[in-house]
């Protein structure tokens, strides 16, 4: 491998164009060299628009290229496992959109497949690598609000129906939990820095589409500490989190999609301190740079792909709790 990572993208998905490519352009030691689409003309047009040297009319053809070191996979959830396995078989490192698989078993198989192939696998919860999240973690560890006791987090937006949006397609791994609900779940695990011991939840299933469109969840962590989480497609609201400690609380706007200039507010009694964070780069860039560092400098990953298995176990527990009306123990 040279001193730069050569990237290919599987599909011309919107998130590749609006988020991944601008971030890669700002990341150190990486370059976009290939784009693949099952529509060759579309791939060529995309390549021409973005100055990408090579375009391919099939995913397999791009994976077989010796000019590609790593691939970004922004395909529908149901296709993640198949194309991660095919990429690993060709020796390509994988940066896969979240959630990694459509079940805990599938996610575990993906992790094992990449381990056996000797390739790096990242799940694209990119906020985990962002300076805002790292500053928050440091603030918590410094004891700014004392011992953590509870938190709330939400991610909601209105999705108009009827629709052919893949978020509402059950066969493609749709549903709010797989699209937005996985964010507050991952954020809660990040904040408490451990896995929950149990889940209690309620979900609304759309009768026409057969997918969950909103969810309310309570994750219990050690010491009887709780995270109350909400997600869904049925109402506006955006993203926010509030983290409570014995000495105060921290209010976090846009916790899972931080901006180039961002921050949070630490509140203790009558005192409020605005903590500013200057990232200066698009949101994917810190995660992509860390991916490069892991490959080129043999740096240990800050987050392992095995964390994705935990995410899916919790999502499955949320579904089970909603269906049975009972708490589901995870440990």
- CATH value at residue 103: 3.40.50.720
Asked, as a colleague might, if the bond just before 99 is cis with ω within 30 of 0, I would say yes
Q: Do 140 and 178 belong to one domain?
A: yes
Q: Give strand ranges (E) for the chain.
A: 5-10, 30-36, 54-56, 70-73, 93-96, 121-123, 148-156, 198-205, 212-221, 225-232, 238-245, 248-253, 261-268, 271-278, 328-329
In terms of residue numbers, what domain contains 69? 5-124
CA-CA distance, 39 to 6, in Å (whole number)?
A: 22
What's 196's domain CATH number?
3.30.360.10
Structural domain total, the chain: 2
**Beta-carbon count within 10 A of 107 CB:** 27
Q: Do 114 and 184 belong to one domain?
A: no
Asked if 24 contacts 284 with a C-beta cutoff of 8 angstroms, the reply is: yes
CA-CA distance, 9 to 5, in Å (whole number)?
A: 13
Q: Do 138 and 280 belong to one domain?
A: yes
92: annotated active-site residue: no
- Note the pLDDT of residue 317: 99
Tens digit of pLDDT for each residue in 267-276?
999 999 999 9
pLDDT band for position 305 (cuts 50, 70, 90): confident
Q: Do 155 and 19 belong to one domain?
A: no
Q: Do 82 and 137 belong to one domain?
A: no
Q: Do 142 and 118 belong to one domain?
A: no
Q: Do 119 and 133 belong to one domain?
A: no
pTM summary value: 0.96
CA-CA distance, 285 to 56, in Å (whole number)?
A: 25
- Note the pLDDT of residue 258: 94
Tens digit of pLDDT for each residue in 160-202?
999 999 999 999 999 999 999 999 999 999 999 999 999 999 9
Q: Do 28 and 168 belong to one domain?
A: no
Catalytic residue among 92, 98, 259, 298: 98
Q: In what order do the strands lie in the sheet with 121-123?
A: 54-56, 30-36, 5-10, 70-73, 93-96, 121-123
Q: Do 292 and 156 belong to one domain?
A: yes
pLDDT band for position 260 (cuts 50, 70, 90): confident
Tens digit of pLDDT for each residue in 83-95?
999 999 999 999 9
Last residue of a domain, one of 124, 159, 185: 124
Last residue of a domain, one of 124, 142, 176: 124
- Pick the range with the lowest mean pLDDT from 1-5, 111-115, 202-206, 292-296: 1-5
Q: Do 209 and 227 belong to one domain?
A: yes
Last residue of a domain, one of 72, 103, 124: 124
pLDDT band for position 98 (cuts 50, 70, 90): very high
3-state secondary structure 6-71: EEEEECCCHHHHHHHHHHHHHCCCEEEEEEECCCHHHHHHHHHHHCCCEEECCHHHHHCCCCCCEE
- Note the pLDDT of residue 237: 94
170's tokens: 């059950």
Asked if 9 contacts 34 with a C-beta cutoff of 8 angstroms, the reply is: yes
Q: Do 239 and 101 belong to one domain?
A: no
Q: Do 29 and 86 belong to one domain?
A: yes
């Amino acid at each position: 491998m040279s001193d730069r990572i050569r990237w290919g993208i599987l599909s011309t998905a919107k998130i590749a164009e609006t988020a991944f490519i601008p971030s890669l352009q700002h990341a150190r030691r990486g370059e976009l060299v290939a784009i693949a689409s099952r529509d060759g003309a579309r791939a060529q047009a995309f390549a021409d628009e973005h100055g990408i040297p090579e375009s391919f009319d099939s995913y397999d053809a791009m994976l077989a290229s010796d000019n590609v070191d790593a691939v970004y996979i922004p395909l529908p959830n149901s296709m993640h496992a198949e194309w991660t396995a095919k990429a690993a078989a060709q020796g390509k490192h994988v940066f896969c959109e979240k959630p990694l698989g459509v079940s805990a078993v599938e996610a575990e198989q993906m992790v094992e497949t990449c381990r056996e192939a000797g390739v790096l696998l990242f799940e694209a919860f990119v906020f985990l690598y962002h300076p805002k999240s790292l500053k928050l973690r440091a603030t918590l560890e410094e004891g700014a609000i004392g011992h953590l006791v509870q938190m709330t987090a939400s991610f909601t937006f209105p999705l108009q129906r009827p629709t052919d949006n893949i978020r509402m397609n059950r066969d493609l791994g749709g549903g709010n939990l797989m699209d937005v609900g996985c964010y507050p779940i991952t954020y809660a695990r990040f904040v408490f820095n451990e896995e929950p011991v149990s889940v209690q939840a309620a979900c609304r299933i759309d009768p026409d589409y057969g997918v969950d469109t909103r969810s309310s969840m309570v994750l219990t962590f050690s010491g009887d500490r709780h995270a109350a989480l909400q997600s869904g497609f049925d109402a506006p609201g955006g993203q926010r989190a509030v983290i409570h400690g014995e000495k105060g609380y921290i209010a976090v706007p846009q916790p899972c999609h931080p901006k180039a200039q961002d921050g949070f507010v630490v509140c203790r009694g009558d005192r409020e301190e605005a903590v500013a964070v200057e990232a200066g780069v698009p949101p994917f860039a810190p995660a992509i740079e860390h991916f490069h560092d892991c490959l080129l400098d043999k740096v240990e990953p800050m987050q392992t792909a095995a964390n994705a298995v935990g995410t899916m176990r919790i999502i499955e527990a949320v579904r089970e709790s909603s269906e049975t009306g009972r708490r589901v123990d995870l440990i």
